[in-house]
Structure 1
Amino acid sequence: MDEGISGTQTKKRTEFNRMIRMCKKKKIDLIITKSISRFSRNTVDCLQYIRQLKELGIGVIFEKENINTLTMTSEFMIALYGSFAQAESESISKNILWGKEKAYREGKVNFQYKHLLGYKKGADGKPEIVPDEAETVKLIYKLFLDGYSMKGIKNVLESKKLLTSMGNKIWNESFIRSILKNEKYVGDALLQKTYTLDCITHKVVKITANARCIL
């Protein structure tokens, strides 16, 4: 039910969590799943939920591994297969990271055009200048160089009824500041501003400026 979810965390697995709640309310007697990797790709979570369900008298049958948690005498096989499932996720994560690093070395940059005022994706796949929006960007820089504060720039933009990248008439000071700090407007691409610590916690960490790469 949780399509597109890696299974390394239960936080965003809404249907999985709903199933666990139903188990606690005694509305489910038995869980049948294709394999341990479908149940969880996090060894700790896998064992934790299996123990909780076992205490409730609810078994989990893993068809591929031929395991019934109510009749098993040891958690060793669960931990073993669970670690395999987790290792698979870690391997996929490393492959994705390798692909991104290779793209960086080749000068390939992803642009968030939805939030990038002044540019759109061109027919050749490269950034293309949007003339009207470009004039707004130039005005923002000019006002800043003239000594205007973020609030002052915001007031000017709104008085001229200029639109944001999302088509809004109301400007946010933090958005104006992000435009002024965006290196893409001077032709640079600052990559890996953040990275995911690991595929289990999905914690995003900011990278210090001297560790980044500019193309």
Structure 2
Amino acid sequence: MPNDVSPLVLTVVGGVFTIVGILLKIVYDGLAARRQDRREALDRFAPERKEAYEEFLTCLKREREYWHNLHELAECHRRGEDVPQERMDNFPASPMSDLVSALERVRRVAPTYQTITAAESVLRLFVDMAESTRAAINSPGPNDEITWFLLQRYLEDREREFVYAYRLDLGIGPPIGGPKNFPMPERPWPADVAEGILRAHMPRERKTRGAP
């Protein structure tokens, strides 16, 4: 990055590094949580699980709004636009820590791994957003917007997967007249395969020409 780094770049990059730092902790915590005896979770009452699932979805919505605003700032930087200092000063902190706490609560009360893995997949996509956004800021490429678009669609799919899993857990099932796998969408490939293909081609930190 050039020596005269703009406050906008510092704000966006700073937000990205904050997200990455928090999410790296999830990997360690997730491995530790899986070693815990989950027999206690089977005795949890459905209302407590329902509350935990709804809390996760609420935190997910807030995090998505944060990333929408962060992406707008990144786009302003890409177009070379000036951003008012007041907007920079009032830019909110990431609510990722709340989402991580909600994930931990889901891990404690969910009786099956289906709900847990769906929630963890959501967090993994935010890691992808952080990495692709950082690469797009430091070295923009022609496929940055395509990557962003696909990440949003995959996040929507994972959210639906989580809703399907928790409805199944609570015995709600699909709505009357709805498809059996509601609200899961029909896709030509499984989510893991589609996300793996994107990650294999996703822009990372690109070296500038002449760099070692």
Do the two structures share a fold, i.e. TM-score over 0.5? Answer: no
Structure with the greater relative contact order (CA < 8 A, sep ≥ 6): 1 or 2?
Answer: 2
TM-score, normalised via structure 1 length: 0.28
Say which one has the larger Rg.
1
Larger fraction in helix = 2
TM-score, normalised via structure 2 length: 0.28
